[in-house]
């Protein structure tokens, strides 16, 4: 009998920033790296003969929890990748919900009829993933292998192996948590599901002690969509939003620097303005009545996706010494980088990729 641990990758930027990742590469979040450590603890002492992983960064990084402690070399496979979502790639779920609401509902609930320009179909994804798993099982007869893949792929596979059609997968097979572990067995002829989406390693006191950041109610919780401020007609509104959101005197960024307004529906709820130097955030603000709803981190996400393609490997923002925003930025990976100056203290966040996990 061959055993396969089928494991979803740890929390990645797209999960946190509410951006459709698909086959786009994204880094793990701070929470994601804590999940990797929890996964490593869970499998301590468990025999693993081989590790296979999607070649996307977030899966390769998660797989390190099992292959590094054992001195194994992971086998990276393109056919274990997440579904390619076509024109949705790198778009926020807020924009997708606004422009493609019926298709978004089908994506989650009616996989049999979901289609999008440039995308794979769920049936195509299921076929390539099942073929990969059967090949892996055959290569490891009588052994134990760990396979790292993605939420949508794993959801399709688990449903199919339990006789659930594409039409009914949405209703009967939920998406497992990041790093959720499923167990498959191969008898030489067929795969069967032994355990599904076990996240017990994320319920331990050791892991939960670090949980500060709000968990989403739904994997496809839409969140915000973004657009440049419409000037001059929105000038007064943006000034009011900034003043109402910032404790004390808000910074006065260069008016020529690009900015994005975050909208929930048609309502502006936040603003991110980029500074004139590489990686700089001049301002992030969220309306007071919209705080603690996961919107602020989506503004940080827009800064990551703005600056990283331009060559930045870290974000920088200057905060007034002792301001309440320090707690927010600290929760999302920023740390003070130097002593406070007359304008405040510089906080930085690393956003680069580790070459070890790049394909």
- pLDDT recorded at residue 252: 53
Are residue 175 and residue 243 in the same domain, yes or no? no
Q: What is the pLDDT of residue 210?
A: 85
Task: Answer with the residue of higher pLDDT: 74 or 358.
Answer: 74
- pLDDT at res. 218: 47
Query: Does 250 score more than 60 pLDDT?
Result: no
Mean pLDDT of the chain: 91
For residue 32, pLDDT over 70 is answered with yes
Is 80 exceeded by the pLDDT of residue 356? yes
Q: Looking at per-residue confidence, does 255 or 166 come out higher?
A: 166
Judged against a pLDDT cut of 80, whether residue 221 lies above it is answered with no
Give the CATH number of the domain where residue 110 resides.
3.40.50.1240
CB atoms within 10 A of CB 70: 15
For residues 62 and 179, is the Cβ–Cβ distance under 8 A?
Answer: yes
133 occurs within a structural domain? yes
pTM: 0.92
| Burial (CB count <10 Å: 0-12, 13-18, 19+), residue 327 | exposed
CA 304/CA 283 separation, integer angstroms:
14
As a whole number of angstroms, the distance between CA 321 and CA 99 comes to: 41
Q: For 88-98, give one letter per residue: b (16+ CB within 10 A) or e.
A: bbebbbbbbbb
Among the residue ranges 58-62, 91-95, 243-247, 292-296, the one predicted with the least confidence is 243-247
Q: Do 38 and 178 fall within a single domain? A: yes
Q: Under DSSP, is residue 278 helix (H, G, I), strand (E, B) or coil?
A: coil
pLDDT over 50 at 96, yes or no: yes
Section 49-75 average pLDDT:
98
What whole-number distance in Å separates Cα of residue 163 and Cα of residue 10? 27
Residue 214 binned pLDDT confidence (cut-offs 50, 70, 90) = low
Query: What pLDDT score was predicted for residue 266?
Result: 85
Q: Are residues 197 and 62 in the same domain?
A: yes
Tokens coding 298? 């989506």
pLDDT at 217 over 50: no
What is the model's pLDDT at position 301?
Answer: 97
Q: Do the strands 50-54 and 75-77 form a parallel or antiparallel pair, or are they unpaired? A: parallel
My answer on whether 78 and 133 are in the same domain is yes
Digit-coded pLDDT (tens) for 125-164:
999 999 999 999 999 999 999 999 999 999 999 999 999 9
262: in domain: yes
Give domain status of residue 237, yes or no: yes
144 and 247, same domain (yes or no)? no
Compare 45 and 325 and report the one with higher pLDDT. 45
Residues 287 and 194 in one domain: no
Query: What is the percent of the chain with per-residue pLDDT over 90, rounded to a whole number?
Result: 74
- Co-location of 21 and 75 in the same domain: yes
Residues 174 and 143 in one domain: yes
Alpha-carbon gap, residue 154 to 149, rounded angstroms = 7
Does 215 fall in a domain?
A: no
Model confidence band, residue 80 (pLDDT cutoffs 50, 70, 90): very high
pLDDT tens-digit series, residues 167-212: 999 889 889 999 999 999 999 999 999 999 999 999 999 999 988 7
- CB-based contact 54:150 (threshold 8 Å): yes
Closest CA to 219 of 261, 170, 286: 170
Q: Provide the domain count of the chain.
A: 2
Q: Which pLDDT band, with edges at 50, 70 and 90, does 222 fall under?
A: low
Range of the domain at 151: 2-208
Q: Tell me what pLDDT residue 338 has.
A: 74
Tokens representing residue 349 in the block: 């966040």
Cross-sheet strand order for the sheet of 50-54: 75-77, 50-54, 144-149, 2-8, 181-186, 191-198
Cα 2–chain centre separation: 31
Quick count: other Cβ atoms within 10 Å of Cβ 330? 14
Mean pLDDT value across residues 227-251: 68
Q: Answer with the residue of higher pLDDT: 300 or 236.
A: 300
């Amino acid at each position: 009998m061959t055993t396969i641990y089928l494991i979803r990758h740890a929390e990645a930027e797209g999960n946190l920033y509410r951006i459709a990742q698909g086959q786009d590469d994204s880094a793990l979040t701070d929470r994601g790296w804590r999940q990797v450590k929890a996964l490593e603890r869970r499998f301590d002492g468990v025999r693993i003969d081989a590790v296979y992983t999607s070649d996307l960064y977030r899966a390769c990084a998660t797989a390190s929890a099992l292959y590094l402690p054992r001195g194994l070399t992971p086998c990276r496979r393109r056919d274990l990748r997440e579904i390619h979502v076509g024109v949705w790639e790198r778009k926020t779920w807020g924009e997708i919900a606004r422009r493609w609401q019926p298709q978004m509902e089908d994506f989650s609930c009616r996989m049999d009829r979901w289609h999008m320009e440039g995308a794979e179909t769920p049936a195509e994804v299921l076929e390539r993933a099942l073929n990969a798993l059967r090949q892996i099982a055959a290569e490891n007869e009588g052994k134990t292998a760990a396979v790292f893949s993605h939420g949508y792929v794993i959801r399709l596979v688990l449903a199919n192996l339990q006789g659930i059609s594409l039409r009914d997968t949405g209703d009967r097979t939920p998406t497992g948590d990041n790093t959720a572990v499923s167990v498959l067995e191969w008898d030489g002829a067929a795969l069967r599901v032994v355990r599904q989406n076990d996240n017990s390693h994320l319920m331990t006191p050791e892991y939960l002690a670090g949980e500060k950041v709000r968990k989403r109610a739904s994997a496809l919780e839409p969140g915000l969509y973004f657009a440049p401020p419409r000037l001059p007609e929105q000038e007064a509104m943006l000034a009011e939003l900034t003043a109402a959101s910032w404790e004390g005197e808000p910074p006065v960024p260069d008016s020529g620097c690009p900015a994005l307004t975050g909208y929930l529906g048609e309502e502006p709820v936040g603003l991110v303005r980029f500074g004139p130097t590489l990686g700089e955030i001049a301002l992030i603000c969220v309306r007071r009545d919209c705080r603690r709803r996961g919107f602020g981190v989506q503004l940080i996400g827009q800064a990551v996706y703005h600056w990283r393609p331009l060559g930045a490997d870290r974000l920088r923002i200057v905060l007034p010494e002792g301001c309440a925003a320090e707690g927010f930025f600290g929760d999302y990976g920023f740390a003070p980088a130097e002593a406070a100056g007359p304008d405040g203290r510089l906080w930085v966040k690393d956003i680069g990729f580790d070459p070890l996990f790049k394909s």
